[in-house]
Every structure is written in C-alpha cells, then in structure tokens.
Amino acid sequence: MEIKKTYFIRGGDHIKIGESLNPASRMVELQTAFPQRLRLLKVTDIRESEAHRLAAQMATRHQGEWFDATQELLEWIDGLEDKSESSTSAAEWIAEYERITKKVSKPLDHVEWADMKAVEKFFGLGRTVQYRLIAEGKIRSCSLCDVGMTRGKRLLCLNSVRSYLNACADAAALSNPPNAESMRAAQDSD
C-alpha cells in the first residue's frame, strides 16, 4: 500500500502544504491554475494535519492549504528531513515533475482541438466541469457526428481552455473570490 507524502510547494509569496501519493503529478495539476512557476520545497514524513497546525503558528493561513511564505515558515520547512518513508526526496520528485511536464506539454503545444479525455488528462478538468464551462460559454467546443446521428465526438478548443484557466489564475492572483470559487468547484468535481 502506498503512503501519501506531505509536500511543501512554493508559489509566489505563498506555500501550499498538502499530501499526495505523487507530489510531482500534484504540482502539474496545481501549475495549470497558478500564474507563477511553482517550486517543490520539500517532501517529508510529517503528517499533513501536524504540518498545517505548526505552519499556522508561523504564518497566516489562506484559502485551503495555502500559507504566507514567512521567513520563519521557510526556515522551519528547510529544517525538515527531505525524505519520506518511500525514500523519494524532493529533488527526485522535482526530476519527476520535469519529466512529466516535458512529456505532457509537448503533445499539446501545436494542437488546436482535443477530445474531453485529453483535456482532462492535460488540464485536470473533469468531464462534468467541461460540460458546465461549455454551457456557460467559457470554453468552445464542437461535436462531430454523422447526419441524422445524435451521438458524436466532442472536441474542445484548447485556446479557449487555456484562456479560461489563465483568466482564473489571474483572478486568483488578484484574490477575486468568484473565480477562486469556480476553480475549487472544478477541483471538487474531479
């Protein structure tokens, strides 16, 4: 049985403390909605709830698992042992993140349209969220089907998906609650 690892990810002036079976994949998911480059600081055995409790004593807690990147918090994270029981260090997770992002980003660099499975895989938006965003006119799509048929293949315009995610990231950076709420809803539905 795999054990979740507690990770510390820095994004701008904030630090996310969370847990995941694969912190590198989690960073890929987070990066799609974050306007600045994320950086994995540490992966450790400390329990996530304990890390949250201790971090809250050193920094202001924001939405969910995000904390201000205070000097005290950064020093505490730096002092933690950089290994989990699986003996995968932050450096190894960073290497995995780089491998994943190179593998993930290249296939869609010049693609204009993709099916819903690809959008879910590369952008982390589940089918329910995709259909909602299409209905709200926030992303573009088309359905390819034969004349007289009711079912077909739904394709999404990747430029519209990227534009939507960038707008959400910009709004989140400006602390705009409505878009932050829609991003939470998108994560919850996946």
How far separated are the first and last CA of the chain, in Å rounded? 23
Letter for the amino acid at 166?
Answer: N
Q: Which residues contact 111 (CB under 8 A, 6 or more apart)?
A: 158
Q: Say how many domains are in the chain.
A: 2
Residues 121 and 88 in one domain: no
Choose the final residue of a domain: 86, 103, 120.
103
Choose the final residue of a domain: 50, 77, 103.
103
Which residue range is the domain that position 72 belongs to? 5-103
Residues 144 and 61 in one domain: no
| pLDDT of the residue at 5 | 85
Phi, psi (degrees; rounded to nearest 5) at 128: -60, -45
Tens digit of pLDDT at every position of the chain (190 positions):
677 888 899 988 999 999 988 888 888 888 877 778 888 888 888 888 889 889 999 999 988 889 999 999 999 988 887 655 555 666 777 777 777 666 544 455 566 888 898 888 888 889 999 999 999 999 999 888 877 777 888 999 988 998 898 888 777 666 544 444 555 555 555 4
Residues 88 and 63 in one domain: yes
3 vs 138: CA distance, rounded Å: 38
Whether this prediction's pTM lies above 0.75 is answered by no
Q: Which residues contact 139 (CB under 8 A, 6 or more apart)?
A: 130, 133, 156, 157, 160, 161, 164
Residues 89 and 49 in one domain: yes
Residues 36 and 54 in one domain: yes
Residues 20 and 70 in one domain: yes
Residues 30 and 54 in one domain: yes
Longest CA span, the chain? 65
Residue pair 111/158 in contact (Cβ under 8 Å)? The answer is yes
Residues 161 and 128 in one domain: yes
